[in-house]
Chains A and B, each alone.
Chain A
């Protein structure tokens, strides 16, 4: 009740409301102020595992609050937020221009929570340590390079013995944020990639689709000569061979959590905390790094929910960051994390 009146008083300007709120929570710094209520999120399946760890961890510090997360896909999550069926949306891509109308002009806030590498997994006889430059990768996924002993692959892998096996390209058959970020990377890194990036890409004939990360992983595992893209966690769990990708600084980097944190760190952060960590430069930067955000309305209509939301975001960006690595997500670099934490104060409560 107190926080409601305070926020309502300060809602004329977001700055003052922010300071009011931080001072009110400052009263109980260290131990967290207890909140209660239910918060429902839905969206990105990429961040779902992280959300689940967060929800369990949050419950242990905030026993009165319940948070749920439904992995329906980024687009469905953004729609659910607009329809009011979800309190926050998980999304791997910022709101598109075609999607803005559904929010009826209400302001949104982006909270980056983690990132993660998208691995290029392959299965070619006993071949290890495959290296691929962006152009080669783009041409493989456009079915322009069709044999593993193609000159372009040889050029990336001097000295490696490459078989004449036919390349089988495996892509996601379902609409996916992973597909979206992978194709955005290819479009950014290679001029030779001419497909339009997005969640559902019109892949060329001859390529094969498989459902979800596990589907792609299993197709790559059982088909000799296959190559596909999967979330890093899946690639690690299924012990897939992962290619090193040449980043824009010219070094071949294998996917790793440190590599994708480096990419998040190198990315240019916009004022609204949207950014693209794809194709970033740096000696250790893994270039195919997927961002993911929690998307909320800046102005919350329900004070109880707003309190839970703020506490949850504070947990996700605070103690929750420690949970990232265990499920193969990369934690946010400190500078970005601090910006996101500061932004929590911009959430206002009004009717």
Chain B
């Protein structure tokens, strides 16, 4: 096996599977999530496991040293693009092992990262739907749970949310502008409906570009209302995972209008060495209208994994910084 071919050190869209789905990009983002965002440095031994009897593994410290090595080798391998699908399965399985071995380690975002890594590893041509199914399960699960929760149905959750938990100028303005029970009730039901709709929509798999944009809006709206405190981990995860459900095969060759004599456009074009876009020079025509410019820039930044990564990471890091400040403020009963 040619070692050179095994390593893909570029941020280019992975075309090994023939569909253009940016699998390697997503796998690398999951590595960033685990190490930088979640700060997961070690594979921890079992403590209060889900599976009875797993505590016995605590008596085998060498096993966890070994798993630590496997974890770090897998992280490096995935990031380097070396047999990244195989190593993604290993990472996904390790995350599930850690969670099954320790209830305190359980978190939905951590588990979801493990699921996505596992699915990246399992992916083969023709299995594009597996990412949609995973996203669908998440939103349907979240929507169904809220649908059966009396505090969600009555609006109490959001009433508490706005009045005591996430009190900031934005949430206060919203809460004050729409005084009364109706507002929290409408917001509760809208959230439930949005989650159930996303779940069904992902399963159906039509117009996934619009679904991707809506998912972005949904999670960004949560971050804006809470000034970056609520669910930024899920913003990161859902941005990356919903990126995988875009119809990459059809998006390839999208027209980007540019000005050949512009340094700015030349700079952007430099990042499309694999000619994902169809670059159309409009210098000799009428140039670009502001709308065309915004439209094409939007397309470029969202469909180039490198730029999308900067966007998502930038927002997540901002929220992380904010959280570290908020954690130092104790809640008063």
**A and B associate in one complex:** no
